[in-house]
Structure 1
Amino acid sequence: MRILLSNDDGVHSPGLVALYEGLQGVGELEVVAPDRDHSGASNSLTLNRPLTVETHPNGFHSIDGTPTDCVHLAVNGLFDQPFDRVVSGINTHANLGDDIIYSGTVAAATEGRHLGLPAIAVSLVNDGHFHYETAARVVRMLLENRLALSLGPRSILNVNVPDVPWEELQGVRVTRLGHRECAEGAVPMTCPRGKKRYWIGAAGQGGDAGPGTDFHAVREGYVSVTPVHTDMTRHEALGTLRDWVDGLTGLEGHHDSDA
């Protein structure tokens, strides 16, 4: 099994190193990651310039682009042999609920899935202890499960691991995404040249964080495993929207609510 490892924290991230070390023997590993931190990059591709690939002494490859760039290039040209799956992480902090909209870690995994490969995004719910080895061991356990898993098209696993020693994990829970409250306000500051600048405010706390959610699972000490589907169509709203479109005036005969 050939496994592509990537992340959004950069090629020198301790979480990526821990993942690489923790998966030794599971399969043939290749690492392609951004040359710097690209947290919050989501699924962005670099289309306005060519990208540079650098190979480091430890065999890792870095790209001066986004997490999505890294997986896209790795699968579509950097290597002669194809990959069997993609693992993205270990992210330095949690990717719970609405975080996945912005997450470069999740984006690297979804890019792998768009390219036809099963993919896992893994994050550490960091509380300052940095138990990356626990998260790496969880990924290894998932990869070594002998039961076949089919999530269907455009689907990945989003995994969040409590920041505790392996022995203190309570187990694994299959969860849904929770939802955060509104983010905190932007933080103004003044740069050395006297101009006003802003830091993006901190993410909100879990507003929808009850039993069954990823927030609740990790708070109780469980690994959260969430199937994530990138089809963003709100299928339940199609009927209501068709009725609404049928009521439009000015384009009679030009719209088709059955399309």
Structure 2
Amino acid sequence: MKIKDLADLVGTTPRAIRHYHHEGLLPVPTNPGVRDYSLDHAVRLVRIRHLSESGLSLGTVRELLHNPDMSLDEELAAAEAGIDAQIEELERRRGRLRELRRQHEAGDTSDPLPYSVPERLSRFYDQVGPRLSAEARPSFEIERRAMEVAVRIPFAAALIDDWLTGFTPERLEATVDIYHFFDSLPGMSKEDAEARFSTELARYRAVFGPDWGVNHRAWRQTIRPILRTPGVMTLLSKAYPHPNQQRFIEIFLEEIAELMEGGVSRETSSH
């Protein structure tokens, strides 16, 4: 049969079949002239689609097809975790849709474009907002809007959610203080702001802990790649254009990096 016939039979496309050829998953017919696909090709194609639709990567599918006795424990666990994450995200989407429907049916037009952030982060903002002064609210709202973009970066939402798990009242109050200090920076001279940075960071660190509550593994696997993602620093500079605020963010990130990289070195030397 021709490639179009095979694609229709199995429920895929000629383009997908050619991709499977390129990936070394499906052998190319060896007959001369127009490619003539056999029953073996159809069976192999069905197996490829079954495995890939189960959540396995094409690389894992290739290894499995070439070596049926290979261990699949880790690959299957990773695939299942990925599916669980997709289900969780779909549940969040359904919740948002239901809330939008509820607002529409109730005639509530006060917030037609609600903030789109994870639930735990939304609760965090709901707790912080009322504690802020009127002067600090604009910066707070800027961050809240910027976070709608930031949580779209791969792994960022999960990292933030993990950091907020078990957030104590003491950390919450320290966070409110940080917002107020951050809001005061545009009113300071460069010299006065620089003189305050180390003192304020030390005060907040005493509440959050020496590593700011950030897991070292999370730093290696998530935070460091996020900060290197194109557009992240641009987003921060657009959200906070004042040089004093940008400098505070820069110093804070440098301190976190130094702490985390030092922790990585200690972990490496201990093994």
- TM-score, normalization: structure 2? 0.23
The structure having more radius of gyration, on CA atoms, is: 2
Which structure's relative contact order is higher, taking Cα pairs within 8 Å and 6+ residues apart? 1
Give the TM-score taking structure 1 as reference length.
0.24
Greater strand percent: which structure? Answer: 1
